[in-house]
Homo-oligomer: A and B are copies of this chain.
Amino acid sequence: MTLEGKLLIGQQAISGNQTEIRAIDPATGETLTPAYLGGGKPEVERACALAEEAFASYRESSLDERAAFLETIASEIEAIGDELITRGMAETGLPRARLEGERGRTCGQLRLFASVVRAGEWLDVRLDPALPERQPLPRVDLRQRHIALGPVAVFGASNFPLAFSVAGGDTASSLAAGCPVVVKGHSAHPGTSELVGRAIQRAVAKCGLPEGVFSLLFGSGNDIGQALVADPRIQAVGFTGSRKGGQALMATAQARPQPIPVYAEMSSINPVFLLPEALKHRVDDIAESFVASLTMGAGQFCTNPGLLIGIQGPELEAFIDAAGTAVNESAAQTMLTPGIHAAYEDGIGALASHPKVRQIARGQAGDGPHQCQAALFATRGADFRADDALQAEVFGASALVVECADFDEMQRIADHLEGQLTMTLQMDSGDLDTARTLLPTLERKAGRVLANGWPTGVEVCHAMVHGGPYPATSDSHTTSVGSAAIQRFLRPVCYQNLPAGLLPEALKDGNPLGVSRLVDGKREK
C-alpha cells in the first residue's frame, strides 16, 4: 500500500494543514516519507461529531456483531502482511521478531475481546425481581446492566507501535465496550499507524458499521491531544506514556464543565526484592535472568525492572558482580526515537554524577546513532530513602540496586516507594516468612505482585492487572491490559419497572443472551 500521509476521519482520508510530522528511522537517523501534516480543531471537531453520531447505534450493536468487528480488525491487520513489519522496524528500530510477536499479541488481544464481548460477563447483569407481597412495602422489579460511556480518545504509545497504539489494548477494549474511538496516533510511528488505521477503516466498512466508529488523527505538540480531551463528546481517555503527559491530560479532563475519567498508565520502576535465601541458592540464575529482562527491547517497557532491593552482604555483592558482568557484556540496541535516547542519556548522566550513587556497569557501545547502552548503578538504603529523585523512572535499560543494612531497612524502603505497576519477590522456600511480611506492603503499592519471575512480558488474560496506585496510573481501580480493561469504558444503569417491550436484550426474562446473572445477589446456576 502507498502511504498517503493522511488523517483518517471516518471513511475518509484527508490532509491536515498544521505542522508536519515525519518519522525518523532511529537506526540511521534518516527521515522517512511521507510527511504527515498535522490536524487541528476542525479535524478534532469532525472526528468527534462522527463518533457521537456512530455511538447511538454502535453501543447497541449485538454481541455477535461487535465481536465479529473486532475479529475483522485482526484479520485486516494480518492481511497487511510484511509491509506492517518493515514499516514498523523502520519507524521504531525494533527488530523483526519483536514486531512479529507484537502483531500476534495485538491480533490475539482483539480476538480475546471478541470472546469477552460474546461471553457477556462485562454486562454485570443483576436482577432483583418484584416482591409485591413484601411488608411493609412491596419491592418493584429492578434490573441492572452496564452500558458504554460514549466516544473514547485513545493516545498511541511510543513503545508498543502495535499492541498499545492505533489498534492496541485501549482501542480494543473501548470498541468491545461499545464506544467509538478517536485515536491520536503517536508521532514517532505515523506510517505504522496509517497502515493499522486503514485496516480498521476497512473492517468498519466490511461490517457495515457507521463510519464514526473509528478515526485517526495526527498532530505534533500537545494542542490536538488537549483539544480532543476537551471535546464535550469525548467521555473517557486511554493513555500510555510519561507521567507529565498523563498529568496534563488529567488536568484537562478535570477542568472540563463535565469532568471525564482519564485512564493513564504513566510510570513505574517495578521494584524487585532479592530475598536472602534466593540469593544464597540461585545468585547466578537471578542475575542472568534479571539482565535478560532489563535489556529486552532496550528496556523500553513500562514493566522494566528498574530497582532491585537486597540486604548487604556477600550474596548481594555476588549478585551485583554477576549482574554487572552481564550488563558490561550486553550489546547496544537502537532506541525508539532520538528523543527517548536523549532522555535516557540524561537519566543515566544524573545517576552517574549523583554523589550517593556508584556506577556498577555499562553495556557495550554501539555503532548506530541512538543506541541504548544498558547501565547498572548501586546506592545505600539510607541514601535512597533520602532522595526521592532516585525513584524517578529512567526509560530504558537502567537499574539501580539498593543495598539495605538489614531487613528492617528493606521493609522501610518498601513502605517508602511510590505506587507501581508491579512488585516482584525473588524468593526461595526459606524466604517464605520474609515474603509474607513484605506482601501486604507490596499489595498496597502495586497492581501486580510476582514471585520468581520478571515483570516484563505482560500476559493478556482475564486475571491480569496492568495498573496500580498513583503515580503508576491515574486510577488504581482499573487495568489497561487484559479483559477487565473493558470495565473502564462502561457504567451501570438500573431499570425500574420497565415494560418487557422496553427492556434491553440482556435484561429480558428468559436470559436470551445466556449471560451470567446475579439474581437477588446470588449467582444464577
Contact = CB atoms under 8 A, between A and B. Distances in A.
Contacts of A192: none
Given A469-B258, A484-B492, A502 B432 contact: yes
A404 B136 CA distance: 39
Contact of A150 (B149, B444, B498): B444
Contacts of A56: 440
A206 interface: no
Given A451-B496, A470-B259, A476-B491, A142 B461 contact: yes
A507 B56 CA distance: 40
Contacts of A244: none
A268 interface: no
A494 B127 contact: no
A413 interface: no
A284 interface: no
Interface string A431-443: 0100110011001
B492 A477 contact: yes
A20 interface: no
Nearest to A515: B523
Contact of A449 (B259, B483, B495): B495
Contacts of A429: 499
Interface string A122-149: 0000111000000011011011100101
Nearest to A141: B463
Q: Which of A436, A440, A525 has the most chain B CB within a 10 Å cutoff?
A: A440
Contacts of A82: none
B126 A463 contact: yes
Contacts of A150: 444
Interface stretch (A113-121, A152-160, A165-173, A312-320): A113-121
A501 interface: yes
A: interface residue count bin: 35 or more
A462 B520 contact: yes
A31 interface: no
A521 interface: yes
A137 B108 CA distance: 14
Given A436-B502, A502-B432, A479 B462 contact: no
Given A432-B501, A461-B139, A494-B448, A471 B525 contact: no
B492 A140 contact: no
Contacts of A525: 525
Contact of A494 (B136, B261, B453, B464): B464
A518 interface: yes
A446 B147 CA distance: 11
A463 B142 contact: yes
A119 B126 CA distance: 15
A254 interface: yes
A459 interface: yes
Contacts of A462: 126, 128, 144, 518, 520-521
8 contacts: A119-B522, A128-B464, A144-B463, A258-B470, A436-B501, A449-B495, A462-B518, A484-B492
Given A128-B462, A447-B493, A478-B492, 6 more contacts: A128-B463, A142-B459, A142-B464, A448-B496, A449-B493, A477-B492
